[in-house]
Amino acid sequence: MNHMPQPSDFGPDNAGPRHNAPDRHAGVYRYDELDKEFVFQRVEQFRAQVERRLKGELTEDEFKPLRLMNGVYLQLHAYMLRVAIPYGMLDSTKMRRLAEIGRKWDRGYGHFTTRQNLQFNWPALVDVPEMLTALAEVDMHAIQTSGNCIRNVTTDHFCGAAADEIVDPRVYAEILRQWSTLHPEFSFLPRKFKIAISGTPQDRAAVRTHDIGLTATRSEAGEVGFTVYAGGGQGRSPFLAVKLRDFVAEPELLAYLEAILRVYNQYGRRDNIYKARIKILVHELGAEEFTRLVEEEYARMPRAEYALAPEVVEAIQTHFALPPLTALPAESEAFDEAKRSDRAFARWTKSNLHPHRAPGYAIATISLKPVGGIPGDVTSDQMDALAELADRYSFGELRVTHEQNLVLAHVRKDDLYPLWQALEAIGLGTANVGLVSDIIACPGLDYCALANARSIPVSQAISERFADLDQQHDIGELKIKISGCINACGHHHVGHIGILGVDKKGEEFYQILLGGDAGPNAALAEIAGPGFDYDGIVDAVETVVKTYLSVRSGPQERFIDTLARLGHAPFKEALYGAA
């Protein structure tokens, strides 16, 4: 069935002034009346399903797929509600509503995830319909945050603001969202399916670890298009995605992706959950044969019907126009003076800022990894404060990063010092983005029903071991990623230092992996050797870091570069002694 978006699907916003002035400019897709009606209808449908379950008219076997379609899992201690944050874009209104939901129906906090989503860890099933109603009132939902369908499309968190961007990936992520939401052919895929888009060759979206990865590019003629990868993924069988095409022009994007999904739907295994992801299909067929099947399918398709019309793209682009930036001088005396007078602020500017495309502005990353903190957790009070800061300093807009941080994308350099002071006041001013304590960690055994070991306390202990920010800045870029089981939600396969928690006779044990990379030089990490127990893992990480400091060519050589230059031998020797 052709489920392609039509121009009429993307009509002008006729919903009236539902938002405060600042977020009228926020870079989030704005629902029209059809969108709103659909989401509210879905909530009522689920409300009836919950009532039928509680009355006994649905068994758990019947109800489970229905609750999963609405983002409701049953975890270790309680239910968990995963809320969709499309491509990580939030505005202050939505953030305030998340704060309110956390306060009213959960335990006063939420957890930002590597899928750029937010999870509530303690909702009662009976309350979930009300939580979904509260979300729908601000154009949010939990549809397709679970199940064997196309999940939240993730993107570069600096999209629409970064100086090095080729195209704004939000436009295409939103098109893919509308194309894939409730697409009948993709509602029951062999397994879950994840797509990432990077608007820059710098790849801040980890595209090669996804089922489909797209990197924006331009042809020699200046035409917008994408390099297309498929078959990447982590978990028990990690693979980097293989390149299918160097260039798929923008009008062909939906047809080409549909061809990939069709091949997966037809040939993907459904008899074995562990072999059902597209990465296994690509691996077993081989890149060449898989590509041939996709191209054959693509050639058979009525491509003109799938063509992505320029007016559709333009209509979506209007939702993501730049906010009304002011013409500013490139340099700010207030910013420079604050850096000179406050060393702690200067340190934050070094790690947490990224160049903006407009003079006088910067992109600020808010670390959700305070020393000893829980990666990705934000209290309801902090959410309210962040919404206020977004309104005050960044046109009411916030982004969630796949590294479990937040971003204010359009901050005047003049405002950076008061912004940082306000962040410090709420415990979120840590100057550690990209450094040793900026750790991705899955929920692990503390929450997750699938986990074998804890992740979060290990990340907290490492963060505390390297609490000295001067030391962290001296160590430089170092990405530690921790998973509490082989499903790899903590991305340990692409950590510079990856840590995998395993179960060993009922107790936690941890493997160290070295050399993974999620960026443009994507690589899978290799297991260093035998694992360490809970009490030994932090010492082992410190051993690796100290070895790096002792063998690097100089402060400018990053950990990952030292590893590439010297290989793993010095690190293995430090961990395990000479062979």
**Count of alpha carbons within 13 Å of 354, Cβ hemisphere only?**
23
Least distance CB 399 / another protein (angstroms):
26
- Dihedrals φ, ψ of 118, to 5°? -130, 135
Interface with another protein includes 53 (CB under 8 A)?
Answer: yes
* Residue 268 vs 373, nearer CB to another protein: 373
Number of residues interacting with another protein: please give it, by CB under 8 A: 33
In the list 66, 125, 307, 371, the residue contacting another protein (rule: CB under 8 A) is: 125
The CA distance from 409 to 251, in Å, is 29
Close Cβ partners of 304 (under 8 Å, ≥ 6 residues apart)? none
* Residue 105 vs 320, nearer CB to another protein: 105
In the list 34, 54, 273, 321, the residue contacting another protein (rule: CB under 8 A) is: 54
Q: DSSP letter at 323? A: P
With tokens 């099933």, the residue in question is 125
Least distance CB 373 / another protein (angstroms):
10
In the list 15, 76, 287, 564, the residue contacting another protein (rule: CB under 8 A) is: 76
In the list 456, 494, 499, 522, the residue contacting another protein (rule: CB under 8 A) is: 456
Q: For residue 289, what is the enclosing H or E element? A: helix 287-300
Stretch in the footprint of another protein (CB under 8 A) among 6-14, 122-130, 519-527, 556-564: 122-130
* Residue 149 vs 451, nearer CB to another protein: 451
In the list 139, 258, 508, 517, the residue contacting another protein (rule: CB under 8 A) is: 508
In the list 21, 126, 527, 569, the residue contacting another protein (rule: CB under 8 A) is: 126
Interface with another protein includes 20 (CB under 8 A)?
Answer: no
* Residue 54 vs 163, nearer CB to another protein: 54
* Residue 189 vs 456, nearer CB to another protein: 456
Interface with another protein includes 77 (CB under 8 A)?
Answer: yes
Q: For the sheet containing 79-83, what is the strand order?
A: 72-74, 79-83, 118-120, 109-112, 377-379
Least distance CB 111 / another protein (angstroms):
11
Stretch in the footprint of another protein (CB under 8 A) among 71-79, 147-155, 317-325, 330-338: 71-79
In the list 62, 284, 296, 507, the residue contacting another protein (rule: CB under 8 A) is: 507
Site for another protein in 91-110 (CB under 8 A): 107
Q: Which residues, in sequence order, are bridge partners of residue 398?
A: 90
Interface with another protein includes 56 (CB under 8 A)?
Answer: yes
In the list 15, 66, 78, 325, the residue contacting another protein (rule: CB under 8 A) is: 78
**What is 29-83 written as a DSSP string?**
PPP-HHHHHHHHHHHHHHHHHHHHHHHTSS-HHHHHHHHHHTTEEE-SSSEEEEE
Q: Which residues, in sequence order, are bridge partners of residue 411?
A: 362
In the list 371, 450, 551, 574, the residue contacting another protein (rule: CB under 8 A) is: 450
| 449 touches 498 (CB < 8 A) | no
The CA distance from 44 to 37, in Å, is 11
Largest Cα span, the chain: 70
- Please choose, from the candidates 83, 65, 167, the residue with its C-alpha nearest in 3D space to the C-alpha of residue 123: 83
Q: How close are the terminal C-alpha atoms of the chain, in Å?
A: 60
The CA distance from 409 to 412, in Å, is 10
* Residue 73 vs 186, nearer CB to another protein: 73
Least distance CB 530 / another protein (angstroms):
20
| 442 touches 421 (CB < 8 A) | no
* Residue 22 vs 501, nearer CB to another protein: 501
Tokens of 537: 């893992």
The CA distance from 417 to 412, in Å, is 10
Site for another protein in 373-432 (CB under 8 A): 374
Which residues contact another protein by CB under 8 A? 53-56, 60, 74-79, 107, 122-126, 374, 445-447, 449-452, 454, 456-457, 460, 503, 506-508
